[in-house]
């Protein structure tokens, strides 16, 4: 192999020399890049939205027409009570996919590539969480649209509905940290899905989504009363009906802030130390 002479070596060094070091991307720029990545995954694999579109339709129709007459006397009355709860349940179920997709990246080796990049460390996780809010928004629109077609009428008007959805999205973002932790700890995406559903079932079904807690046994009612999902449903119902109090909304915001403040640092510690 021919060796380079002094002139050729100097020319090569000048050609590949970096005069100015590249600017390190800001935390906001890095986060938005990963948010865009999450949105592109939805664009290129739209089938992953099937659960978002079908689940609210199935739950709303099934519970309204199977139990509406037995619980409330007629389906229309029960729909007024049920729909805000179904909206909450649908969005919270979708939060599971945050951990599922993160674990999929880990099993494919993408996770290690992200950690080697000179970017803000939390950006891949925070960006994915922000991108998943699109899923939550789609689920909310479909659930509300179906409810309006079936006869649901929010007395709180457009402002009440928008405020209820915004509050739900804030809480869903906070709850997503639980499933992000599971995504970092579990060995496979299927394991993440299974364990996440075990976490969600007592939070959603043992709440005031489907029936008022006054008729429940005392032990179950005690859990429902302290269940943060019950407080969220109460606030969402109140906002849509125009009867929400400041304490209803404030309690949910405080709960979301506490969950995020506790779980976000734990998530990032696991993320940094995971081998």
Q: Where do the structural domains in the chain lie, given as residue ranges?
A: 25-273
- Within 10 angstroms of residue 94's Cβ, the number of other Cβ atoms is 23
Give the pLDDT confidence score for residue 3 in this predicted structure: 56
d(CA 176, CA 166): 15
Concatenated DSSP letters of 73-103: SSHHHHHHHHHHHHHHHHHHHHTHHHHHHHH
Give the pLDDT confidence score for residue 48 in this predicted structure: 67
Say what the pTM is: 0.84
Give the pLDDT confidence score for residue 166 in this predicted structure: 95
Per-residue pLDDT of the chain (275 residues; tens, 9 = 90+): 555 455 556 666 666 665 666 677 788 888 888 888 888 877 777 766 777 778 888 888 888 888 888 888 888 889 999 999 999 998 898 888 888 888 888 888 887 788 778 888 888 888 888 888 888 888 899 899 999 999 999 999 999 999 999 999 999 999 999 999 999 999 888 899 899 999 999 999 899 999 888 888 889 999 999 999 999 999 999 999 999 999 999 999 999 999 999 999 999 888 888 76
Give the pLDDT confidence score for residue 21 in this predicted structure: 62
Q: Of all helices (H) and strands (E), which one includes residue 151?
A: none
Give the pLDDT confidence score for residue 122 in this predicted structure: 83
Concatenated DSSP letters of 207-240: SSSSS-GGGS-HHHHHHHHH-HHHHHHHHHHHHH
Give the pLDDT confidence score for residue 262 in this predicted structure: 95
């Amino acid at each position: 192999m021919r060796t380079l002479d002094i002139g050729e070596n100097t020319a090569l060094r000048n050609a590949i020399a970096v005069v100015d070091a590249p600017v390190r991307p800001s935390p906001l720029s890095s986060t938005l890049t990963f948010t865009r990545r999450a949105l592109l995954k939805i664009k290129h694999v739209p089938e992953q939205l099937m659960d978002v579109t079908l689940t609210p339709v199935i739950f709303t129709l099934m519970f309204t027409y199977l139990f509406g007459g037995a619980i409330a006397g007629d389906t229309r009355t029960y729909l007024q009570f049920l729909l805000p709860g179904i909206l909450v349940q649908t969005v919270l179920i979708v939060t599971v996919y945050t951990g599922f997709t993160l674990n999929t990246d880990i099993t494919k080796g993408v996770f290690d590539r992200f950690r080697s990049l000179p970017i803000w460390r939390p950006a891949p996780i925070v960006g994915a969480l922000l991108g998943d809010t699109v899923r939550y928004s789609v689920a909310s629109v479909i659930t509300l649209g179906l409810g309006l077609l079936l006869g649901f009428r929010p007395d709180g008007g457009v402002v009440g509905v928008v405020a209820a959805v915004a509050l739900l999205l804030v809480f869903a973002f906070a709850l997503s940290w639980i499933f992000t932790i599971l995504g970092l700890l579990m060995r496979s995406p299927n394991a993440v899905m299974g364990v996440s559903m075990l976490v969600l079932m007592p939070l959603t079904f043992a709440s005031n989504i489907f029936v008022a807690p006054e008729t429940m046994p005392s032990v179950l009612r005690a859990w429902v009363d302290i269940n943060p999902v019950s407080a969220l449903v109460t606030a969402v119902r109140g906002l849509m009906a125009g009867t929400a109090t400041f304490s209803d909304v404030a309690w949910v915001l405080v709960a979301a802030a506490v969950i995020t403040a506790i779980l976000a640092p734990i998530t990032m510690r696991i993320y940094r130390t995971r081998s």
